[in-house]
Amino acid sequence: MNAASDSATYMDLAQNWLEHGIYGVNIQGQILPVDVRPPGYPAFLVAVTVALGRSHLAVLLAQALVDLATCCVVALLAARVSPVAGRKRAALAGLWIAALCPFIANYTTGILTEVLATFFAAVALLVLGEGFEPTEIVEADADRPKWAEWVQERWFLGGLIVGFGTLVRPETPLLLCAAGLALLARWWRPANWPKLVRAGLLMFVGMLLPLVPWAGRNLRAVGELQFLAPRYTQLPGEFVPRGFYSWTNTWLWRFRDVYLVPWKLDDEEIYMDDIPPYAFDSQEERDRVAAVFDEYNDSLTISPEEDAFFAEVARERTERHPLRTYLTVPIKRAFTLWFTPRIELLPFSGQLWPIRAAWQEDPVDFCVTVGFGALAILLAATGLAGAWLARKSPLTLFLVTFCVVRTLFFLHYETPEPRYVLECFPAVIALAAQVFVRHRTAEKLSLHIAD
């Protein structure tokens, strides 16, 4: 599903939940319960409707407030990465960068999960980050029950926040995967394995608790024990074109191709002229694919036989060039995820090539696209520089690991949408803030030596 259909699905779920008490969508004139999306964001829309009224402006206002709260959390996270002496400056730098960064703020105008999911990611990073700092051991109260100690554990609280975040975006548990890897690197000696197991258990239990009611509802209403959401977000009985996605995974890496091929499937005609030449290894292969698309364009519905054909073409292409499928295309997709100008919600085309024609046709569009692309590169580069400067901070490894894990997860996803790494931006901004702290500290030290 593309972003537009995602928005329609969320609004449909929220409306049916509010008006009919059914968490479902309209299928052939009947509201049927589904598990196609977790309930966190539709619940947010319902809460906004009840509190502020049913309007797009109300959702925009609520999401703007959530985004402001995220900026504050990012400031606290930046301070925690920094040494004690530089925490005030790190917090201020993190707050300013987060407040001025347009990439998350753009999504406050859309009916999408990104703003709320990024808030939960930032809070989870902050809470779990406390576990990576050396702290004094406080003796437990003998009269306090064991469950009360667990509730106060940062690992449990972090897992709990991740659990609620998973009700917004189902891939949120990647945060706990990153935390587990970072802890494994920190506590790799056998003497620390009990602490490692305890932290992992607390995080898992905390994450599981908010998901149990959702899984129970799915078992009762849909007939399957689903803790997250279906892998391909399909409706009941809907065919999943896995073979088609396997084929696109052998060549698709540009975001513009997502609009022209995968997002048209089962909805619009797909034209061969819109598919780049590198999607085919030979003219014979192109002719075979063209023949199948001719059949598809007659019905605008991909059949199991057509999908099986694409699966076979994907297998052949992978056998001929395995590094292309498993290395080259994923690397290019990583570039798309991180360095796309991110203007998909703005009234600009993003057209850059050919440069002379794009400039002559619309210089404002061209400048905005180049500017946003340069800003994405600058933010990522500053984040990397900050990670290097703060490499001695125990929290840095966790933040970097999270960005890497989330990026790797989406490299073989159906579509390389840049919004999928927005949840990494709290970590990137917190690390970027370290550049300003370290620079000023070094400047003062050099002045002191000169005097």
Q: Provide the 8-state DSSP code for 27.
A: E
Tell whether the model's pLDDT for residue 224 goes beyond 90.
no
Residues 368-394: tens digit of each pLDDT: 888 999 999 999 999 999 999 999 898
What is the Cβ-side half-sphere exposure of residue 11, based on CA atoms within 13 angstroms? 12
Mean pLDDT of 25-51: 90
Predicted local confidence at residue 192, as pLDDT: 86
341-376 pLDDT, tens digit per residue, is 888 888 877 777 778 777 777 788 888 888 999 999
Tokens of 205: 């239990």
Q: Quote the CA–CA distance of 181 and 113 in Å, as a whole number.
A: 26
pLDDT given for residue 46 in this prediction: 95
For 234, which DSSP code?
Answer: P
d(CA 29, CA 31): 7
Comparing CA positions, the residue from 324, 239, 240, 217 lying closest to residue 281 is 324
pLDDT tens profile 246-277:
999 999 999 989 999 999 998 899 999 999 99
- What is residue 140's predicted lDDT score, i.e. its pLDDT? 45
**pLDDT on residue 441:** 44
Task: Give the phi and the psi of residue 81 in degrees, each rounded to 5.
Answer: -70, -35
What CA–CA distances, in Å, run from 149 to 142, 144, 324?
Answer: 10, 7, 50
DSSP 305-348: HHHHHHHHHHHHHHHH-HHIIIIIHHHHHHHHHHHS---TTTT-
What confidence tier does 134 reach under pLDDT thresholds 50, 70, 90?
low
More confident site: 114 or 26: 114
pLDDT score of 170: 93
What distance in Å separates the CA atoms of residue 165 and residue 402, rounded to the nearest whole number? 15
Q: For residues 165 and 318, what is the distance between their CA atoms, to the nearest angstrom? A: 36
CB 401 within 8 A of CB 391: no
Distance, CA of 292 to CA of 71 (rounded, Å): 49
Look at residue 3 in the predicted model and tell me its pLDDT: 57
Q: State both tokens at 268.
A: 């619009």
pLDDT of 235 strictly over 80: no
Q: Which of 53, 41, 57, 54 is closest to 6 using CA atoms?
A: 41
> What Rg, from alpha-carbon coordinates, does the chain have?
24
Residue 286 and residue 247 in contact, taking contact as beta carbons nearer than 8 Å: no
Which residue would you say has higher pLDDT here, 409 or 230? 409
- Greater model confidence, 163 or 85: 163
pLDDT of 135 higher than 90: no
Query: What angle do helix axes 425-450 and 363-389 make, rounded to 10 degrees?
Result: 60
pLDDT at 346: 82
**4: confidence class by pLDDT, cuts 50, 70, 90:** low
Q: Given a cut of 50, is residue 445 above it in pLDDT?
A: no
Provide the pLDDT for residue 238. Answer: 76
Helix H, strand E, coil C: the string for 140-169 is: CCCCCCHHHHHHHCHHHHHHHHHHHHHCCC
pLDDT attached to residue 328: 95
- ∠ CA 197-124-153, nearest 5°, is 45
Determine contact, residues 382/96, Cβ cutoff 8 Å: no
Distance CA 151, CA 115 (A): 27
Sequence-ordered list of residues with C-beta below 8 angstroms from that of 343, at least 6 positions apart, any chain: 350, 368, 369, 372
**What element of type H or E holds 25?**
strand 24-27
Decide if pLDDT at 448 tops 80: no
Distance from C-alpha of 233 to C-alpha of 245, rounded to nearest angstrom: 14
Return the pLDDT at 128.
Answer: 93
Of residues 110 and 232, more confidently modeled: 110
Residue-wise pLDDT tens digits, 297-310:
999 999 999 999 99
pLDDT at 151: 44
* Tens of pLDDT, residues 158-181: 999 999 999 999 999 999 999 999
215 CB contacts (<8 Å, ≥6 apart)? Answer: 225, 226, 227
**N-to-C CA span, the chain:** 63
Res. 438: pLDDT tops 80: no
How far apart (Å, rounded) are the C-alpha atoms in residues 295 and 11? 34
Instruction: Indicate the Cα dihedral angle 444, 400, 162, 76, nearest 10°.
Output: 10
Which tokens hold the place of 212? 């149990």
- Kind of pairing, strands 30-33 and 24-27? antiparallel
CB burial readout 58-67, b (16+ within 10 A) else e = ebeebbeebb
Please provide the average confidence, as pLDDT, over all residues in the chain: 88
| DSSP secondary structure code for residue 270 in this structure | -
